[in-house]
Chains A and B, each alone.
Chain A
């Protein structure tokens, strides 16, 4: 009996909500219907294209697809949808670039360990968090050893890296390195010491004043010209430096916003208790400021993750770059939609994940403050 009543209630609740939001007036009702028809058309078209009339491994004649001419849509134009075989055939390149096939387990292992390295950082109520945090700090060394090589592992030069590996490497490392740097910059910008303050202001304003593409070009094209011939810092490393500097300037401004939201009274109270500057900053100011700044920080992180695709103009095969290389191959050429939809999907998964996380944090913040 009770469950029935509950069902009725919830039914009513949803019913009411729907009526209130979508069908309250004649105008709203007609807009809703138009939107539904539109969504239905787009949705069925996309699903049909991407799944129901798409090729995966076999074409409609049941043959294994080995090049673009065997795609159903190229045999019978207009009747069939996507030809996902290009993704299938080049999946390793989309994931690892030109990383040697027999060594890709190393990339897989570092991909697999990555969640463990960041989970401790993201969730504060995690059991055994101390160990996870510890792992966060040793992960970069493990990942470096795994990806680049060292004793007992063959060295894989970074010009062989590519695909999602490069995108994640630039995104994660850039964000990870930029975080401490940006805290220092944000604190420096609010410092009373004129030299430190002006250095930080100049740095932040300069970096924010130029597009990432300019920084990438500077790192990639100008830097080697200043160095003696034959001394060439790694291409990927140069891009990483540019990405890190760029991200730190933006993140610093996000953190400064958090710092400014801390009432002056709290700092004065801490000082009157005899806490030093560093104690005040570490125990009173930063924990609160960072909490406030988390949504804008995540925002800049999402931005940066997508910006990493700019490295393709300096000749790095990131996810987008390797996709273009796949399209340039005569075996698969002209399958633009498949490649770009796939790349968009991968980017969406990561960016959506980050945005969900930021939402989760915002909700948590709210309960903390109430």
Chain B
């Protein structure tokens, strides 16, 4: 009896200790502030999205989200520690608290949002599965691809999407299975397949690396929805708001024409939304638990969404992706941030 009792006591004690540890570390914002830097789950290397450059500095459109959060919290976009994650470990690393935000070309889906205990707080890139063909084929639409041979990575959702798309349109195709991106490039360039299909951003990055990029076209059809965005852990709404609005601030910045270059001048703007965003009208930072100049810091140090996009994946980079879906709603895209008021 006494043995069982002492065992129970030991068990209770250990439970108490662990809850004490768990309880003591409070809200994510406090933890981040106390640590003095943001832990950001990033890619192990994806061109334009998250990759260390020659000097070892992380760059990319996903990296810019982390920099924006750091700018919002600390007023210093460089206070980020990047944790490279693979697609296999990314969610656990976030769940275990090793990172504060996961910004790593991750598709927002219902199962991830609910079952995995994550909260997606926005979309920083609308991706989707596309097709690339040699321009010499003279194909201008995916609907002309009946009977084509298609290079496809085995065991991925792209395989199912492809089958669905071709069946739905009553077309046939011959699949050329490949294992990795690099293998797909080699097979496609060697002419083993007419078409290469994967996420459009990946197609653009591949194309940019080919000897003569202009000899290849990415077809306009996008056959799946892959909204990529930053995610945080369930259960800390304040932190989710901060990350989400750091991204929104960049998008609103573009809407209002605020860039890293003119943000100081814009402080004198008469537009009330600009005033609220840049903290000229005080009070909005406090609602998020941040200082009033948080969005000013984001736009000053990271720039607005357009700047980030062009610098990393757009025409200003050597990937050269057109804005497409990722243009603002008023420019024909679907990028739409809630109003800042």
Contacts and interface: CB of A to CB of B under 8 A. Distances in A.
B159 to A, nearest CB: 21
B84 A315 contact: yes
Contact of A334 (B21, B52, B89, B209): B209
- The winner among B25, B51, B319 for most chain A CB atoms within 10 A is B51
Given A101-B56, A331-B53, A336 B182 contact: yes
Contacts of A67: 318
Interface stretch (B91-99, B193-201, B286-294): B91-99
Nearest to A323: B45
A263 interface: no
Contacts of A209: none
A313 interface: yes
A328 B22 contact: no
Contacts of B158: none
B96 A227 contact: yes
Interface string B71-91: 000000000011111101100
B41 to A, nearest CB: 9
B25 A333 contact: no
B89 A221 contact: yes
A224 B41 CA distance: 15
Interface stretch (A6-14, A86-94, A271-279, A342-350): A86-94
A327 B45 contact: yes
B106 to A, nearest CB: 14
A229 B85 contact: no
A148 to B, nearest CB: 15
A317 B97 contact: no
A230 B31 contact: yes
A26 B81 CA distance: 67
A270 to B, nearest CB: 43
A325 interface: yes
B47 interface: yes
- Bin chain B's interface residue count: 35 or more
Interface in A291-326: 312-317, 321, 324-326
Contacts of A227: 96
B178 interface: no
B47 A315 contact: no
A217 interface: yes
A224 B209 contact: no
A317 B210 CA distance: 26
Contacts of B19: 228
Given A90-B54, A228-B21, A329-B54, A314 B89 contact: yes
A329 B58 CA distance: 10
A214 interface: no
Interface string B183-222: 0010000000000000000000100111100000000000
B303 interface: no
Given A159-B83, A336-B182, A325 B51 contact: yes
B44 interface: yes
Nearest to A74: B211
Contacts of A68: 209
A231 B21 contact: yes
A93 B211 CA distance: 26
Contact of B25 (A101, A229, A326, A328): A229
Nearest to A336: B182
Contact of B98 (A98, A232, A312): A232
Contacts of A328: 43, 45-47, 51
A344 B51 CA distance: 23
Contacts of A316: 84
Given A315-B86, A330-B209, A333-B208, A93 B56 contact: yes
Given A221-B92, A329-B54, 18 more contacts: A159-B83, A225-B92, A229-B22, A229-B25, A312-B44, A314-B86, A314-B89, A315-B44, A315-B84, A315-B85, A316-B84, A317-B44, A321-B45, A325-B51, A326-B45, A329-B51, A329-B52, A333-B209
26 contacts: A74-B211, A92-B56, A93-B54, A159-B81, A159-B82, A221-B89, A225-B92, A228-B19, A228-B21, A229-B22, A230-B97, A232-B97, A314-B89, A315-B44, A315-B84, A321-B45, A321-B84, A324-B45, A328-B45, A329-B54, A330-B205, A330-B319, A331-B53, A333-B208, A333-B209, A334-B210
